[in-house]
């Protein structure tokens, strides 16, 4: 079963006419940079694997160029009834190239049913810019099958999750916001919960394309109730592998290409995968405080500043063997 949420829907920056490319089912916000659709999902009964597929198509300007040649941060969000948006797929476009990402998002099964509101976003500043496709495929799986997203951490398959709780969504986490206390959320872990994971999605950027926080590694730290539970440096050193999908990236005097440079957790033309942290021992049933912090974010100066795009949510299991009904 495949549900097509967006298909060739336009994303652009047109402050004077953001609704220029609206359709009967898809509406634009944020001057055209965000598209939104609400629809009902009725997944098949039983356990399913959920594959999210997002494609960004650059809009041609003429036979040799496109309107938006830059790498742009983007995502597809699920907007829950309560709490901040959840990033279903987080990505950065290529330098003017078409890209497609297929991500296993089976952990979001408790929310991907019934009436759902979706948003597609590309951080563009030109018009026209991009067209977006987004679909969800629900595939029945055998009970013993382990979803792709569990491979790195799970010793055994715990079964489908029982609940998902959004924590934070911040598209511009700056030095000033860090000084003000970082990003935090109060959360109530349901009674009967036996396992809890944090799914943390993050990428570092800068407004002037130089140095921190895009090209300088910075520590990200996660806390539960004031105690550190995870510390790491988001970093991608494999961006050279995506040169083929970056047709408009710049070549520098030393022979290097812009798309090749290592970056803080992302590469032009690729998706950003979540960092999964098991917090079962610290997030027992009851109230808790989650906080995330980025060390030494570059403050504002005459040239620009560093910032981070951060989101996080909890996934929990209560020992229930069967997923909830539609």
Mean pLDDT computed over every residue of the chain: 93
Please write down the HEC assignment for all residues of 228-252.
EEEEECCCECCHHHHHHHCCCCCEC
* CATH code of the domain made up of 2-317: 2.60.120.230
Domain boundaries, the chain: 2-317
* CB of 262 closer than 8 Å to CB of 236: yes
* CB of 268 closer than 8 Å to CB of 94: yes
pLDDT tens for each residue of 188-237:
999 999 999 999 999 999 999 888 999 999 999 999 999 999 999 999 99
pLDDT of residue 325 exceeding 50, the answer is no
Residues 6+ apart with CB under 8 A from 233: 217, 218, 219, 220
pLDDT of residue 324: 41
pLDDT tens for each residue of 252-305:
877 789 999 999 999 999 999 999 999 999 999 999 999 999 999 999 999 999
Residue 60 DSSP symbol = B
Residue in the structure block whose two tokens are 């005097």? 253
Closest C-alpha to 129, from 74, 79, 77: 74
pLDDT tens for each residue of 146-190:
656 555 555 566 788 999 999 999 999 999 999 999 999 999 999
* CB of 217 closer than 8 Å to CB of 264: yes
pLDDT of residue 97 exceeding 90, the answer is yes
- Give the burial string for 65-83 (b: 16+ CB within 10 Å, else e): ebbbbbbbbbbbbbbbeeb
pLDDT tens for each residue of 201-215:
999 999 998 889 999
pTM over 0.85: yes
* CB of 35 closer than 8 Å to CB of 27: yes
pLDDT of residue 321: 47
pLDDT of residue 326 exceeding 70, the answer is no
pLDDT band at residue 44, thresholds of 50, 70 and 90? confident
């Amino acid at each position: 079963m495949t549900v097509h949420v967006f298909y060739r829907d336009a994303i652009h920056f047109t402050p004077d006419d953001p609704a220029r490319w609206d359709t009967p089912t898809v509406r634009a916000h944020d001057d055209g940079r965000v598209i939104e659709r609400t629809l009902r999902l009725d997944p098949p009964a039983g356990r399913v694997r959920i594959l999210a597929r997002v494609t960004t198509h650059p809009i041609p300007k003429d036979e040799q160029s496109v309107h938006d040649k830059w790498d742009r941060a983007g995502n597809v969000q699920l907007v829950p009834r309560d709490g901040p948006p959840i990033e279903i797929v987080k990505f950065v476009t290529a330098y003017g190239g078409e890209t497609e990402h297929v991500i296993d998002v089976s952990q979001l099964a408790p929310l991907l049913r019934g009436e759902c509101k979706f948003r597609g976003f590309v951080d563009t500043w030109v018009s026209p810019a991009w067209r977006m496709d987004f679909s969800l495929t629900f595939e029945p799986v055998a009970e013993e099958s382990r979803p792709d997203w569990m491979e790195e951490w799970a010793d055994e398959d715990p079964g489908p999750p029982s609940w998902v709780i959004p924590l934070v969504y911040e598209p511009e986490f700056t030095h000033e916001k860090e000084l003000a206390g970082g990003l935090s959320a109060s959360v109530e872990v349901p009674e009967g919960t036996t396992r809890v994971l944090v799914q943390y999605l993050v990428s570092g950027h800068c407004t002037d394309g130089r140095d921190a926080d895009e090209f300088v590694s910075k520590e990200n730290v996660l806390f539960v109730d004031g105690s550190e539970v995870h510390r790491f440096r988001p970093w991608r050193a494999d961006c050279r592998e995506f040169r083929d999908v970056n047709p408009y990236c710049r070549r520098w005097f030393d022979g290097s290409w812009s798309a090749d440079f290592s970056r803080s957790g992302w590469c032009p033309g690729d998706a950003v995968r979540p960092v999964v942290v098991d917090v079962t021992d610290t997030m027992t049933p009851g109230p808790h405080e989650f906080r995330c912090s980025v060390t030494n974010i570059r403050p504002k100066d005459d040239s620009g500043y560093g910032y981070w795009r951060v989101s996080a949510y909890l996934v929990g299991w209560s020992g229930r063997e069967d997923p909830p009904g539609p």
